[in-house]
């Protein structure tokens, strides 16, 4: 079910300082900061030859990173993002196997403009897992190979 490692999320207290470290000390290709208020984060993607690093700092009082940074004030690895071809199919299979999908289970649009979901860290060796759908859905939302309900 899971495919490529799309990115590794790292929560940091100071996004600009972390980005400078990746750019200047580690010599990596560092993108521009982007606010994702609907997710309570500001992110900078670091592009590597085989994957990406998502540097994130809290945005707003309700950021999901706040609790994490209280327990790890200097920052730390926060989540792994795996790619899946069909996020609804992946969710339903995981739920059938007893995994906890965070939130109400509805995929939301993530930093790459694709649907994402998160799985509880307690179910996966203490690692928060993000799933990102990779194949763009056709305009009618249909999925290849899946029977489509008759249109009204």
Q: Closest Cα to residue 10, out of 62, 29, 112, 18?
A: 18
Q: Which does 33 bind (CB under 5 to 8 A by kind): Co ion, ligand LZKTLF4L, none?
A: none
* CB-nearer residue toward Co ion: 79 or 86: 79
Structure tokens at 81: 């993002």
29: annotated active-site residue = no
126 binds, among ligand LZKTLF4L, Co ion, none (CB under 5 to 8 A by kind): ligand LZKTLF4L
* Dihedral sign (CA 140, 93, 36, 10): negative
Span of 5-13, 22-30, 70-78, 144-152 interacting with Co ion by CB under 5 A: 5-13
130 belongs to the binding site for ligand LZKTLF4L (CB under 6 A): yes
């Amino acid at each position: 079910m899971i495919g490529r490692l799309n990115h590794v999320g790292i929560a940091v207290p100071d996004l600009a300082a972390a980005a400078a470290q990746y750019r200047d000390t580690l010599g990596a290709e560092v993108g521009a900061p982007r606010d994702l208020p609907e997710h309570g984060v500001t992110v900078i993607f670091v592009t590597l030859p085989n994957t990406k690093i998502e540097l994130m700092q809290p945005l707003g009082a309700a950021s999901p990173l706040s609790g994490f940074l209280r327990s790890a004030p200097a920052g730390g690895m926060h989540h792994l993002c795996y790619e899946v071809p069909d996020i609804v199919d992946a969710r339903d299979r995981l739920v059938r196997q007893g995994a906890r999908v965070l939130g109400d289970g509805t995929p939301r649009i993530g930093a790459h403009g694709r649907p994402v979901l998160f799985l509880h860290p307690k179910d996966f060796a203490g690692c928060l897992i993000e799933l990102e759908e990779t194949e763009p859905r056709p305009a009618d939302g249909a999925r290849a190979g899946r029977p489509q309900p008759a249109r009204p």
